[in-house]
Amino acid sequence: MAVRKNKETKNISKQLLLVLLFILACVLLSHQLYMINTRRDSGLTFENEKFVIPSDRQTVYIGENLIFVPNVDYTDIDSQDFLFYDYDDVPYASGVTISPTEGWNNLGPDAEWHNCEDRPQNRVIEREGKNKYCGVYIMTLHFEEPNIAYYLNIPNANGLVDVYCNGDNLGFLWGRSDEWTPTVGFGYNYLPIVPNQDGIAKIMIAVSTNVKINNPGILSLPSITASTDSMAPSVAPALWLMVQLILFLFILIGGLVISRTFKNRSFFYLFIIVECLVLAYTIIDCSFFVIDAYTRELMKFVLFILTNTMLFVFIDSFFASESNVKKHLIVRFPPMSVILTGGFLVLWAIYERPPLTGIFPLVPEAGFIVVVALLTAYNLIAVHYGEDTSFFVTIAVIYQVFFSSNAIANYNRIFNVPSYSVFFVIANLTLEFYFISRYVIQARTLEDTMGRMQFLVQEKTMRISEINKDLYNTNKRLMENEQARKNVLSNVSHDLRTPITAIRGYAEMLVSKGDNLNPVQKENYLRNIIRRSEQMERIISDIVELTRLESDANEFQFMDVSISELLDEICMMYEADLLETKKKLVVDLPDEDLLFVKADPKKLSRVFENLISNAINYTYDEALITVKAWREDADKPLSQQRVKIIIQDNGIGIPENEIGMIFDRFYRAKNSGGNIKGTGIGLSIVKTIIDRHDALISVESAIGKGTTFTISMKPTYR
């Protein structure tokens, strides 16, 4: 038990360390993105209320020492009710700093008001049935190289931005018109600045916005870019959005294919909803789809609430165990409802009840923070402690926190590529890698399984084929044995009937004519009865001996036996039997090599007797039978030597197609003839004895030319 607790403690400590390292990596990534992609004031020389633009600077950022005049909008400038130097006659602030979060509600610590005792309140102007705040930012630029074109860019502002240079209207930023109709932009828009002959450009930036906006005005440092400079800040957002769209399409198409293997495809559809919400939020936030500031902030906040809520459901469902997947939506519905309701109440308090913002000085970012805090708190509480997935849920929740916090952050971007979209792309690639690797692993596992199954099926098929083949061969042997059994029964019955008939005949004659027979006839009859009885005994003995040889290995008594001496004795016996015939037995044995082998002398004698007897029986009247033995490979080590014995005749031979069957029990060659009776057991006995001696026997034969039996045995002595 103690070992298990220690192991669990080490596992928890390891997971905690990984979580801390992951948080550190996310912090470093957020910081690095902020440092790389933040506009900072270029610190230009400010003389006589003019910014000096040096010729060696391609892009400069101006965020300080601006002039702000409240209560002035583009209609006042177009009607020439307000000219560039008229700000000296009205309340204005100098030393203004651009605030990326509060707009002109926070003009910076160095701001100084003129022509008024206190900071004036912006008056509300009624125009086209809409209430708007309005104000104008003023700055004077002195270009050291006036003969080239320059471009002004302001990537983020709450309101309609109208730009004037030396009294000329350069146009609306973000492609807006008087009718406030939404248009499609490309993240950033540049307006050309044409200085006069002295290199002076008097810039007025008029901003008109909805009264319900809590942070009206410019929210990004204006940039001045030379025409020779790269327009990367303008092109990068469109390219980055294209990358996100291509990645989304890749995930959509690939996901539709991979999700076919899912048990429940609703998880994939939930993921696609999250993707669409994040893309929509990015498009609105980066002003690819330009609308008025109030609607833009409302849509951002609504999309933010929906995105984080769906992320919450997605994370919880993704890492939930299979047993909890079905009940997750039901279990999560109450907290989801509370979070959504709370989020929209914050939205209502901020945008629809401005007096409440006086009591609770909330800005849109504060509402975002409230939603993220609620979601994060519940998500962390909802982590399934005790489940193997709790660690991954924690990682996913932390990632959601960093994604959301970067979505909240509003800072001066050099490139309109928000850091939360970078987090989102990384998360997409991670999930993509996870699913693809998982799919590849499953595909490989399936492929290996299929290969294994195919191998097993092939192996089983081969095995079944072999079994069928064995069954076929067994059945064939059974049929052959059955036929052989019938043949042997026929042969045995024939062989036994002949001596039995003879014995019976001789016995009947002895009984019926006993007194009439002379002693010589009686003796002949009795001798014939004895000979026939011995013939019957021999037939029965062959069958009994074969059965015993096949069933009992103890019948063999192995000892060192001289092949030369054994063959010499057997051949001498048969030579005596052939004296009165024209058949000749030739024996060829080594004089100085006794050819010792490990064998049972009685059983081995039976082999040689059967083979020599067959050679004598299955030859013509004039025949030559050769018995030869020698040591093969005598110059090699004893283990590689062999004792070879051949028994050769020039008799009737064996048909070629029957040579392989002559050692089968009860089998007799078709050309063996009816005058030579036998049971077909002799060669079976020979083969059984040879096999028990771990020796080999082979046959070569040709019809009408004779047969040669070759036996190969292991020697025991040199």
The band of 356, judged by pLDDT with boundaries at 50, 70 and 90, is very low
Separation CA 28–CA 24 (nearest Å): 6
The CATH number for 45-229, chosen from 2.40.100.10, 2.60.120.260, 3.20.20.100, 1.10.357.10, is: 2.60.120.260
CB 218 within 8 A of CB 447: no
Lowest mean pLDDT among 123-132, 267-276, 587-596: 123-132
More confident residue, 593 or 348: 593
Residue 316 has a pLDDT of 67
The band of 163, judged by pLDDT with boundaries at 50, 70 and 90, is very high
Residue 35 has a pLDDT of 83
Pick from 115-119, 250-254, 315-319, 668-672 the range whose average pLDDT is largest.
250-254
pLDDT of residue 710 exceeding 90: yes
Residue 647 has a pLDDT of 92
Tell me the torsion sign for CA atoms 179, 185, 188, 191.
negative
pLDDT of residue 545 exceeding 90: no
Which single residue is written with the structure tokens 């040689």? 608
For the chain, residues classed under CATH 3.30.565.10 are: 554-713
> What residue type is 62 in one-letter code?
I
For the chain, residues classed under CATH 2.60.120.260 are: 45-229
pLDDT of residue 646 exceeding 90: yes
Was domain 554-713 assigned CATH 3.30.565.10?
yes
Residue 537 has a pLDDT of 75
Question: What is the CA angle 586-591-596, rounded to 5?
Answer: 95
CA-based nearest residue to 712, from 655, 659, 633, 636 = 633
| Cα–Cα separations (whole angstroms), residue 29 to 40, 400, 406 | 19, 14, 11
CA 561 distance to own-chain centroid: 68
pLDDT of residue 355 exceeding 60: no
Residue 488 has a pLDDT of 56
pLDDT of residue 194 exceeding 70: yes
What value does the mean pLDDT take over residues 43-69? 86
Which single residue is written with the structure tokens 């490989």? 444
Separation CA 444–CA 629 (nearest Å): 64
Lowest mean pLDDT among 382-396, 436-450, 557-571, 687-701: 382-396
Residue 643 has a pLDDT of 92
What value does the mean pLDDT take over residues 50-76? 87
Lowest mean pLDDT among 220-229, 540-549, 638-647, 699-708: 540-549
What value does the mean pLDDT take over residues 231-244? 75
Radius of gyration of the chain (CA): 56
Alpha helices in 289-418 (DSSP H): 293-318, 322-347, 354-359, 364-381, 390-408
Residue 671 has a pLDDT of 55
pLDDT of residue 640 exceeding 70: yes
